[in-house]
């Protein structure tokens, strides 16, 4: 049930995992650490803000940036990729923390389920993209990046309209 309710939050984690085709396979384990650390810090930072629309706009803007990096197939240094993973986890945790579902750190079962869903999504997508570096699979990864950008921009337009 938790995974079904959190698919909308996991798109930045998926986009961060799609960056794994340009980094060595040995660093995929560190990516999980960056995602989880970002998630936990984002959930803690959610106590400082309660403005759902602004946080969602920030998360969707970042999601469109990640999708563009995947779409354009940019070769970024490993440090920048690690930073992008950490920020993706942080924004996902922040967005999850400000939702009206309640306090994310007091509902430990839901929070652990959310983190498990994020980690499993990241691991599966990162392993798939790390094994497919060339050929038609690489084109499919870039198309997934374009869909992520499209989803983020459409949702961002919806949020801007709600601000009025």
pTM comes to 0.85
| pLDDT tier at 113, thresholds 50, 70, 90 | confident
Residue 2 has a pLDDT of 47
| Domain around 84 | 2-163
R_g of the chain computed on alpha carbons: 15
Residue 106 has a pLDDT of 65
Mean predicted confidence (pLDDT) in 62-90: 90
pLDDT digits (tens, 9 = 90+) for 9-37: 788 998 998 887 767 777 788 889 999 99
Return all residues near 108 (Cβ < 8 A) that are at least 6 apart.
none
With tokens 């469109």, the residue in question is 64
39 close to 93: Cβ distance less than 8 angstroms: yes
22 close to 81: Cβ distance less than 8 angstroms: yes
What is the tally of structural domains in the chain? 1
């Amino acid at each position: 049930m938790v995974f079904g309710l959190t698919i909308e939050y996991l798109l930045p984690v998926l986009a961060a995992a799609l960056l794994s085709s340009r980094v060595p396979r040995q660093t995929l384990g560190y990516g999980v650490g960056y995602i989880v650390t970002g998630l936990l810090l984002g959930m803690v930072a959610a106590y400082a803000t309660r403005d759902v629309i602004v946080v969602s706009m920030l998360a969707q803007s970042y999601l469109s940036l990640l999708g563009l990096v995947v779409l354009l197939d940019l070769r970024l240094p490993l440090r920048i990729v690690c930073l992008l993973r950490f920020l993706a986890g942080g924004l996902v945790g922040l967005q999850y923390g400000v939702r009206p579902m309640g306090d994310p750190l007091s509902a430990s079962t839901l929070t652990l389920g959310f983190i498990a869903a994020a980690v499993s999504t990241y691991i599966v997508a990162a392993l798939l993209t790390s094994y497919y570096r060339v050929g038609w699979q690489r084109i499919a990864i870039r198309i997934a990046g374009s869909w992520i950008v499209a989803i983020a921009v459409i949702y961002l337009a919806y949020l801007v309209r709600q601000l009025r």
